[in-house]
Amino acid sequence: MDILAPFSKQEEVEKLVNAGATELYCGLVDANWNKKYSLVSSINLRHDQIANLSSFGALGESIESAHSAKAKVFLTLNAHFYSEKQLPLVLKQAEKAVSLGIDSLIVADSGLIPKLANEFDVEISLSTGNPVFNSKALEFFKELGVGRVVFPRHLTVKEAVSLAAHAKKLGLKTECFVLNVICPYIDGLCTFQHIVEKNLSFVPVGPLACRADFKATAIGSASPEKKFIAENHAMLWSNSISRDCGLCAIDEFKGGGVDCVKIAGRAHSIEKKLADVNAVKAAIDAAGSKGFKGTARELYFRLFHNKCDYPNCYYGGVGFGES
């Protein structure tokens, strides 16, 4: 099982690969894009420069460093859509990345996918910015030119495993998130601006609307335990700001044929990124063993210095039980 880890600086590549990452992904907002469209209209849904490389020179060096260690590099071009004026520059950016040896382009825009697939000899990964809900969606995107799918964060473990089995029949690779930046909402339907950098003087920056306080109440005939899980999972932004974890799901993902587990957090420090990769690698190595969930909880404690608590669970309820 591969580990797909984020980076935002060229010097992070070697360290992440040495820690166990087999695939790396990054964003790039260079001076040309920034001058024309700024970070507010980011090419990759991250509106903070600290989460992005700033030049193709840095990307080329990153690819060279990763390839020398037999690791892959993916580039995010995953805005929900691009304007007609932006598309020529997006294609030029893709062409530059492919010429440098990029292994995959992470794309959300359905109109852009077939164009990239037809013009360039490169794998297209479907971003969570264009979510897959069912097997028919997998078939549609396969026909469109996608070779790999990042599953939406809101899926259950069983749903993800079921879709991974169908994807394998289609010849598609699959990924699931397991750490950081969880959201209870659907990425592909989100229209919020995710600006975190404080020095954007031309844009008023305040608390994200999706993090507004609210209360959720589960109704129906489900057991109290299941209602507790559902209520807390719906209130993730109120309960979980920086301890989002799905390590317990790795056992089922690995056994169910998911090809890769993905770590979010391009803007995190290198220390945090390395700790995440180490934890995910340890969980993959322990998958299938007796007492796996206990091991996952220990890894959680090492990462967050806090006891595992279910509101922070990426896949609501997967942490319950002792197996």
pLDDT tens digit at each of 323 positions of the chain:
999 999 999 999 999 999 999 999 999 999 999 899 887 788 988 877 888 999 999 999 999 999 999 999 999 999 988 999 999 999 999 999 999 999 999 999 999 999 999 999 999 999 999 999 999 999 999 999 999 999 988 888 999 999 999 999 999 999 999 998 777 677 777 766 655 544 444 444 455 566 666 677 889 888 888 887 777 766 665 544 568 899 999 999 999 999 999 999 998 999 999 999 999 999 999 999 998 999 999 999 999 888 887 667 888 767 665 55
Domains of the chain in sequence order = 2-184+209-312 (3.20.20.380)
pLDDT at 84: 92
* Angle at which helices 56-68 and 87-99 cross, to 10°: 40
Phi-psi region of 97 (alpha: psi -120 to 50; beta: other; left: phi over 0): alpha
Q: Is the dihedral of CA 62, 68, 71, 75 positive or negative?
A: positive
Specify whether the CB–CB gap between 8 and 27 falls below 8 A. yes
Phi first, then psi, for residue 219 (nearest 5°) are -120, 165
The DSSP secondary structure of 296-319, one letter per residue, reads: HHHHHHHHHSS---GGGBSSTTTT
What single-letter amino acid sits at 41? S
